[in-house]
Structure 1
Amino acid sequence: MFENKPQSAGKQPSLCSCSLPSDPKDATDYRKMYERVSKMASIGVWEFDLLRHELSWSDAVYDLFEVPRGKAITRCAAVQFYSGESRIEMEALRAQAIESGGSFSIDIKVTTALGNLRWINLTADVEQENGISVRIFGTKQDITERKRAQEQVKHLQSERTHTASRAAMGSIAATLAHELSQPLACIVSYATGTAEYLKSVQIPAPAAIGLREIEVNALRAGDVMRRMRRMIEKGRGNSEPFDLTTVLKDAVIVACPPSAKVSFKLQFGHSGTVAADRVQVMQVAVNIIRNASEAMEGSRDQEIFIATHEEGDFIIVTIADTGPGLPADLNLFEPVDSSKAGGMGIGLSICRTIVEGNGGKIWALSAASGAQFCFKLPKLDGSPG
C-alpha cells in the first residue's frame, strides 16, 4: 500500500495519498476496501514524484508485474518490463503530458519479472503546482484477456477475408470456364468444317494456315478451361472435423460487433461435428448474418435467430431475421442477381459454391416476418446424434 504521506501547505493531495481517514482503524478499513476493489478489478495505482524521482506502487501493481510486494522499485527498472515499441510511445506521451500538465492513456505490452507476457492499460495524470509539474499518478490494469479476444477476432476476420477472395475468384473462374467452353467448341467445329469443305478448292496457303491455327488455338483454349475447372473442383479447401456451433458463435462475433443493435437468439440442438473447411463454412455464416443485419436496418425489432438440428446424415443450420423478407421471383444464388446498391451480386453465389463444394446444400425461404436461410453439411461419421 501507499503510505499516507503528509502534504505540504498549499499542495493538492494526490490520488494515492489523499482521503485517508485520520482515525487509524478507519484508515486500515479504508486500505482493505481499496485493495479488495483494486484486486477485483485488476487495477493497480502508481505514483511518481517528479522532484524526488521516487516511484510508488500499490500491491496490485506489484502483482501485475510479478514483483515481490514492497520491494523497492525505480522507474528505470520499471520501464524495462515494457516492450521496445510500447516504451517509446509511452515515453513520448509522458514527456508531452509533463510539459502541458495533461494526461494520457496507452495499452502496453510487458514481460513480467517471471517472464510472462501481458498487456496492461496505463493511465497517467500530471499534477502541477504553480505551473510546474511535480507529480504523476495513474492506474495500471491487466487487459491481457481483452487483447487476446481482440486478436482472435482480428485473426478470424483475416481468415474470412482471405477465404472470400479465394472463393470469389473460384466462382468467377468456374463461371468463365463454363460459359466459354461452348463458344470455343463452336469455333473448333466451324474451323474444322470449313477446312474440310475447302479441301477440294484451291485456296491460298496463308488462308489454310489461318484456319488451322484457329482450330489449334481454340482447342488449346478449351484445354486451359478444362484444366481450370479440374483445379477448382479439386481445390475444395482443407476438410477437417470441427464443432459447428463453435464456428457459428465465432461468425456472430465477426459479423456483428458488440456495438451493433442486432440481438441474437441461439438454439443449438446438435453439438456434433462436421467434416468440412472450417474457415469456408464460417465465411458462409458471416455472409448470411451480415446480409440479415443489413436487411433489418431501420427496423424497430432487429433479431437474428440461429439454430442447428440433425436430419439423417446432415446437420442443418437455420439463420432467420426479422427483416422485410425476400423479393419475389429472384434467384438469390445466381451471380448476376443483387438486391444491394453497389453490390456485385456474388456473395450468395460464393456461399452456394462453398456449401456444395463441402458436400452440402443451401436454400432460402421467405418467412411470415423476415427471411430464412438454411444450409446443411455432412455429419462426421461417429458424431453423436
Structure 2
Amino acid sequence: MISNELSQSTHSWPLFEHGRQFSLGHDFAWSNTATLDLSAGQAMLAQQGIGTWECNLVNNVLTWSPEVFDFFGMPQHKPANRKRTVSLYREASRTKMERLRAYSIKHQRGFTLDAEIVPANGGHRWIRVIATPVCIGNRAVRLEGFKRDVTHEYR
C-alpha cells in the first residue's frame, strides 16, 4: 500500500536558488517507489559539486550520495547518522536549519539555506542545502534535495 501511495507522492514546490529556478540541466525521472532516479545524472551532479540526499521522516534515516559524505568529512562505508550530522552545523546554521526543516515539514514547503559546517575530518565549509518535502496526501514523509559546497562564495 505504501509503495502505491509513494508512487503518487508529489513535491510541494520547484527548486529555487537565490530567487532563480534551480536547474540541473537534466530531466530526472521518478521510479515507481518515488525516489529520484539519479543514475543517469549522478556523474553530472558530482562534476558540478552537487550531492543528493534524503531523510525519511518516519525514522530519520539519511541517504546520501558520495559527495555529501565528502562535504561532512564522513566515511562512506558507515551509514549517515542525523544526530551526528546535525552536530557538525555551526550553532547559528543549526538553529536556522532546524527551524526551516520544521516549517518545511509542517507546511509542506521547500527551503534553501546556506549553512556553515565543521566537517568531522576537520576544516570549515559552507554548504547550500536545497530541500523539498515529498508528501503523501497531506503529510510530508520525506525531505530530499541537493547539497553543494559553496565555501568559495564566502571567502
The superposition leaves residues 251-303 of structure 1 with CA deviations (integer Å, 9 ceiling, x where unpaired) of xxxxxxxxxxxxxxxxxxxxxxxxxxxxxxxxxxxxxxxxxxxxxxxxxxxxx
- Asked if structure 2 preserves the Cα contact closer than 8 Å seen for 1:35 and 1:60, the reply is no
Q: Is residue 2:93 matched to residue 1:93?
A: no
Q: Secondary structure at the match of 2:4?
A: coil
Of 61, 76, 79, the residue aligned with 1:72 is 79
Of 9, 12, 15, the residue aligned with 2:4 is 9
Aligned partner of 1:18 in structure 2 is 30
Question: Could you tell me how far apart the structure 2 residues matched to 1:126 and 1:100 are?
Answer: 9
The Cα of 1:19 is off from its aligned counterpart by: 4.0
Of 98, 112, 127, the residue aligned with 1:120 is 127
The Cα of 1:118 is off from its aligned counterpart by: 0.4
Aligned partner of 1:256 in structure 2 is none
TM-score (normalizing by structure 2): 0.77
Of 43, 46, 51, the residue aligned with 1:44 is 51
Aligned partner of 1:239 in structure 2 is none
Question: Could you tell me how far apart the structure 2 residues matched to 1:141 and 1:111 are?
Answer: 15
Letter in 1 for 2:141: V
The Cα of 1:10 is off from its aligned counterpart by: 2.4
Aligned partner of 1:83 in structure 2 is 90
- Name which one, 1 or 2, has greater alpha-carbon Rg: 1
Q: How does 1:1-385 map to 2 (within 5 A)?
A: 8-12=3-7, 18-19=30-31, 31=39, 33-148=40-155
Unaligned runs of at least 5 residues, structure 1: 1-6, 21-26, 149-385
Question: Could you tell me how far apart the structure 2 residues matched to 1:124 and 1:9 are?
Answer: 23
Does the C-alpha gap of structure 1 residues 14 and 49 become closer, same or farther in structure 2, counting only changes over 3 Å?
A: farther
Question: Could you tell me how far apart the structure 1 residues matched to 2:104 and 2:117 are?
Answer: 22
The superposition leaves residues 177-198 of structure 1 with CA deviations (integer Å, 9 ceiling, x where unpaired) of xxxxxxxxxxxxxxxxxxxxxx
The Cα of 1:18 is off from its aligned counterpart by: 3.2
The Cα of 1:98 is off from its aligned counterpart by: 0.5
Q: Secondary structure at the match of 1:71?
A: coil
Letter in 2 for 1:75: R
Does the C-alpha gap of structure 1 residues 111 and 14 become closer, same or farther in structure 2, counting only changes over 3 Å?
A: farther
- Asked if structure 1 preserves the Cα contact closer than 8 Å seen for 2:55 and 2:63, the reply is yes
Q: Secondary structure at the match of 1:113?
A: coil
Question: Could you tell me how far apart the structure 1 residues matched to 2:142 and 2:64 are?
Answer: 14
**Higher fraction of strand:** 2
Q: CA RMSD in A?
A: 2.4
The Cα of 1:17 is off from its aligned counterpart by: 9.0
Question: Could you tell me how far apart the structure 2 residues matched to 1:50 and 1:90 are?
Answer: 15
Question: Could you tell me how far apart the structure 2 residues matched to 1:17 and 1:110 are?
Answer: 31
Q: Secondary structure at the match of 2:147?
A: strand
TM-score (normalizing by structure 1): 0.32
Question: Could you tell me how far apart the structure 1 residues matched to 2:4 and 2:82 are?
Answer: 27
Aligned partner of 1:226 in structure 2 is none
